[in-house]
Amino acid sequence: MLELQKVSLEIQGDKGFEILKNINLKFYEKKIYVVTGPNGGGKSSLAKIIMGVYNPTSGQILLDGQDITSMSITERARMGIGYAFQSPPRFKGIKVRELLKMAASHNPEKVNICDLLYDVGLCAQDYLNRDVDASLSGGEMKRIEIATVLARNLKIAVFDEPEAGIDLWSFQKLAETFRNIHMKYDTTIILISHQERIMELADEIIIMSSGMVSAQSERDIILAGIMNNDSCACSTKCVKG
């Protein structure tokens, strides 16, 4: 379990303002969490504080009871925390097969690379020998990145807006991919997203605004609240009429 206790993050400067304010959250094994809320609400900062890109000004972060608050990104990665970038990096001269083998290097016997590709909705035969470069579409690249995250056999995987830059058709397949991996893998998945299709995958939804957790509950309760509430959680203002 990953636990954030009274985590605050202040950006130093002449005014120095609080980006995250007294965040208390628990993320349990095998669950999917969706973090949503208006732009600038602190979602990406939350992801960065989990990864160790930012260090909290106050508060504690615990992984399975161990205090990891002052650990570096590398140490946290070793402990099983991973982060998927909004735009996945592309590597010149590396084949999909090699990328996945590198990702799986600490448990090579356990990982079947063909199965991994299948789990993210790609046919292994077609992709193993492809270069990880601009010849891959956004949706293909995103799914290969998810496969590398799965290959690492992580405890916690954070995906920041996986829908970004993906067309609607690929996006529907991506949502199915997350649903499949949730059934098959033990990794706790934290998805930052504005998409209802992604929210539908959640065991629990967390709404962040103004650096605070403004709501957190089981999916259906939150989704019902969003439907019935004038001040909705999505970044687009609803037009009523």
The whole-angstrom separation of Cα 211 and Cα 190 is 17
**Complex with ligand ADP: residue 44 or 148, whichever CB lies closer:** 44
188 binds, among ligand ADP, Mg ion, none (CB under 5 to 8 A by kind): none
* By the rule CB under 6 A, 36 interacts with ligand ADP: no
Whether 46 and 59 have beta carbons less than 8 Å apart is answered as no
Q: How many residues contact Mg ion, by CB under 5 A? A: 3
Smallest distance, Å, CB 29 to ligand ADP? 25
Q: Which of 2, 27, 33, 41 binds ligand ADP (CB under 6 A)?
A: 41
Spell out, one character per residue from 1 to 30, where the chain touches ligand ADP: x when CB under 6 A holds, - when not. Answer: ----------x-------x-----------
Smallest distance, Å, CB 12 to ligand ADP? 9
* By the rule CB under 6 A, 39 interacts with ligand ADP: yes
Q: How far is CA 224 from CA 227, 229, 230, in A?
A: 5, 8, 12
Smallest distance, Å, CB 51 to ligand ADP? 13
Smallest distance, Å, CB 25 to ligand ADP? 15
The whole-angstrom separation of Cα 150 and Cα 9 is 30
**Complex with Mg ion: residue 1 or 234, whichever CB lies closer:** 234
Spell out, one character per residue from 8 to 47, where the chain touches Mg ion: x when CB under 5 A holds, - when not. Answer: -------------------------------x---xx---
- Cβ neighbours of residue 27 under 8 Å, at least 6 residues apart? 1, 2, 3, 33, 156, 188, 190
- Quote the strand ranges of the chain, DSSP E: 2-10, 18-27, 32-36, 58-63, 66-67, 81-84, 156-160, 188-192, 204-209, 212-218
- Cβ neighbours of residue 51 under 8 Å, at least 6 residues apart? 73, 76, 81, 83, 158
Smallest distance, Å, CB 78 to ligand ADP? 25
3-state secondary structure of 36: strand
Which residue ranges make up the site for ligand ADP (CB under 6 A)?
11, 19, 39-45
